[in-house]
Amino acid sequence: MTTAGKTCKPALLGGPKSITEDPGDLFTWPIVTAEDEQAVLEVLRAGKMSGNDVTKQFEAEAADYFGVRHALGYCNGTAALLGAMWACGVARGTEIIGPSLTYWATVMPAWSLGATIVLADCEPDTLCIDPGDIEHRITDRTRAVVVTHNYGHPCDMDAIMAVAHKHDVKVIEDVSHAQGGLYKGRMVGTLADCGAMSLMTGKSLVAGEGGLLVTDDRRLWERAIAFGFYERTGAGRYTDGKSEITEPDLVPLRGLPLGGAKHRMNQACAAMGRVQLRHYPARIAEIQKAMNFFWDCLEGTPGLRAHRPPAKSGSTMGGWYCPIGLYRPEELGGLPVARFCEAVSAEGVRTSPGANMPLHLHAVFQEADVYGDGRPTAIAHSDRDVRQGPGSLPVAESVPERVFSIPWFKHYRPEAIRAYAEAFRKVAGSADRLLEAPE
C-alpha cells in the first residue's frame, strides 16, 4: 500500500482502464484445427460412433503418455470416477474419504454404490486435501481415499500414500484438473492405485466429452471393464467375441455389465482426444511458460500469492486448468476479495472471487434423501452421523474469501501477459483508496 501514491487511479474509481486491447486467441481453448475436424469426420462418415476400435487406439496412446499399462476411455469423468470406485472395492456399507473442496463428481458417485462419503479439509496454500486430516477419519469401513489435484496443483502424494498404505486403503487420484502435471518429477494420475479424470471441453486435456481411467493394476482395469463395458467382456450376442477379462472371478460373469452401467466413450470424442493428446505436451509447455511468467511479474505483490509448487521442486501445474490466485486480505487492509475482483474487472480483466464451494455445507450433503432410504443419503448406510456442519472444515470454508480466478493464458505473449499482471498489481496497490471510497 506504500505504492498507492505512485499508482494511477483504479478504473473502478474513474482512472484509466488497464486492458483495452482485444486478447485475440490468447484464451481460446480447446485449440481445434483441421486435424481434429478430419479425425471426427472420419468417424462420422464410417458410422463408427458406437464402436471401440478408435477408443482402443486412444487408450493405447493415453497409456503411453501417462506411462501406465492400462487406460480405459469413458463417456465422461463422472463415470470414470464411479468405475474407479467400484473397481477399488467401494460398495454398500463402506466409506470413502475425499476433499470437501472439489467438484462434486470426485466423491458423489460413491453414494450410488451405497457407500458413505467422509469429507476432509484442504491445505491453505495448495488447496488440495490435507494429508494430516485423513488418518483420523479412517475406519475399518474405509475402502478408498479420493484426492483431487485442485486447479492443477499436485496433492502431497507421499504423505497421502503413506497413510493409505499404513491402513491398507486404496487411493484414487482425480486428475480432471491436472493432466500432464508432475509431482516430484512423476506424472500425476500414476502415483496411486489409479487415476480417473474428465476430458470434457472445459478441461485442459479435451476429448469433447469424455473420461479416462489410468492404472498399472490389471485387476482393477478388468473390474472397471466388467462394471460398465459389457461389450468388451467377450460374451453375449452384442460383443465382438474378444474378451479383455481374465480374472477367474469375473470370467463367469461376462456378457452383462455388473454395474448395469454403460460407460463407453463416443468414438467421435476418442478421435478428437487422439489429436488433442498428440499436441498436448507442446501446448501445456507453452501454457506453463505463460502462467509462470504471469506470476513472476506479480512476485512480491502484497495480498497476492501464486498457487503453484515451488520452482525446482520437480512438481508442475499440468495445463493450469481454471487457475486461481491466493488472496491474503490481511495484507491489503482487509479489502474483501469481492471488492478486489470488482476493481480488477473494471480494469478490463475477467476475474471472480472464490472457487468451488465446500461440499460439506451443501443441503444435498446435509439432508437430501436421494434413494428413498427414509434418511439422508449422506448417512443412509452408516452407523454414525458423518455430516459436518459450519466450522468443521475451516480451511475449506475460508477459501471463498481467500482465492480469486486469474486469466488462463494459452500462449506465451510476454507483453500482453505483463499488462494483465500489472492490472492486478495496480488494484492491490490501490487497496487503501478502494477501502476509502464509498462502494
Least spacing, CB of residue 214 vs ligand PLP, in Å: 14
54 or 105: CB nearest ligand PLP: 105
104 or 412: CB nearest ligand PLP: 104
Residue 184 is placed in which grid cell? 516430484
12 or 178: CB nearest ligand PLP: 178
Least spacing, CB of residue 407 vs ligand PLP, in Å: 19
CA angle 135–139–144, rounded 5-degree value: 75
Nearest-angstrom CA–CA distance, 238 and 232: 10
Nearest-angstrom CA–CA distance, 143 and 150: 22
Please count the other Cβ atoms lying within 10 Å of the Cβ belonging to residue 417: 21
- Residues contributing to the site for ligand PLP (CB under 6 A): 76-78, 102-103, 105-106, 148, 174, 176-177, 198, 200, 211
105 or 290: CB nearest ligand PLP: 105
Is the preceding omega at residue 124 within 30 degrees of 0, hence cis?
no
Least spacing, CB of residue 108 vs ligand PLP, in Å: 9
Least spacing, CB of residue 106 vs ligand PLP, in Å: 5
213 or 427: CB nearest ligand PLP: 213
**Residue facing ligand PLP at closest CB distance:** 77
Least spacing, CB of residue 231 vs ligand PLP, in Å: 21
75 or 343: CB nearest ligand PLP: 75
Residue 409 is placed in which grid cell? 493464458
Least spacing, CB of residue 271 vs ligand PLP, in Å: 17
Q: Of 375, 359, 416, 341, which is closest to residue 105 (Cα–Cα)?
A: 359
